Amino acid sequence: MSQHPENEFELSNDEMHLYSRQILLEGWDIEAQEKLKLANVLMIGAGGIGCTSAELLARAGVGKITIIDADTIEISNLQRQIAFTSNDLGHYKAEVLAKHLQKINPHIQVNYQNSRFDESNADELVRHQDVVLDGCDNFSTRYLVNALCKKHQVPLISASAIGFEGQLFMVESDSACYECLFPKEQHANENLRCADSGVLATTPVTIAALQAHHALLFLGLGLTPLRQKLLLWNGLNLSQRILQFEKDENCPICQAT
């Protein structure tokens, strides 16, 4: 976890009240809540997944959230990107989401960048994080996020949603990675995006809630239920499967790290 001065470690009385329902949980105590307060989380994308996941982390008490997204808000986004309203049209998603989170929880720190996650900023953004949550909508960014998380040994929780279906998995330390599961030469069709293929309003929200839940389990309790496992969620029949996958011995990313 990130290092903070001692006076930043303890929960204030206001925070104790705000998070009281979590602290009352069996298996989740003040120590777990304090771990959330110390945590640094990077959100890649402020769309349908990012909006919901970031808001849940903010409400739960994650101490520092950084959001990066270059897009501005369009009317078609309002159907599923729950942090935005018609008053936000034309504004940057990352900035609007950051301000939304700060209003929800004034005890946390929220930073944002109105830019793409790319080679120019990736190293600096990833290296100091406790976990990265990827909810972007294009393969090139997903492969870059995966490579940088493996390079800096930062855990990655990757979520995707399209149509009526969603996927979720975790990459950590020496585990198999995104490119092991989806080799770049086989999964680089950028047409498979919500903007082009459609998505039901509830699909990204559901997957985002699962992503945020996994992040809280990891940050507060050190649990990794989807490490090297792929969760598949089907919104038409409400079924869920979890498949284990292994390292690809020929994966260029794993070989490099």
Rounded to 10 deg, the angle between the 48-60 and 93-104 helix axes is: 20
Enumerate domains of the chain plus CATH numbers: 38-254 (3.40.50.720)
d(CA 103, CA 126): 25
Higher-pLDDT residue of 188 and 62 is 62
Q: What is the pLDDT of residues 82-135, one digit of tens each?
A: 999 999 999 999 999 999 999 999 999 999 999 999 999 999 999 999 999 999
Is 90 exceeded by the pLDDT of residue 52? yes
pTM of the model: 0.93
Q: How much is the pLDDT for 192? A: 56
d(CA 98, CA 12): 23
Q: In degrees rounded to 5, what are phi and psi of residue 101?
A: -65, -40
Sheet with 131-134: list strands edge to edge.
109-113, 64-68, 40-44, 131-134, 156-162, 165-171, 229-234, 239-244
In the predicted model, what is the mean pLDDT of the chain? 93
d(CA 130, CA 126): 9
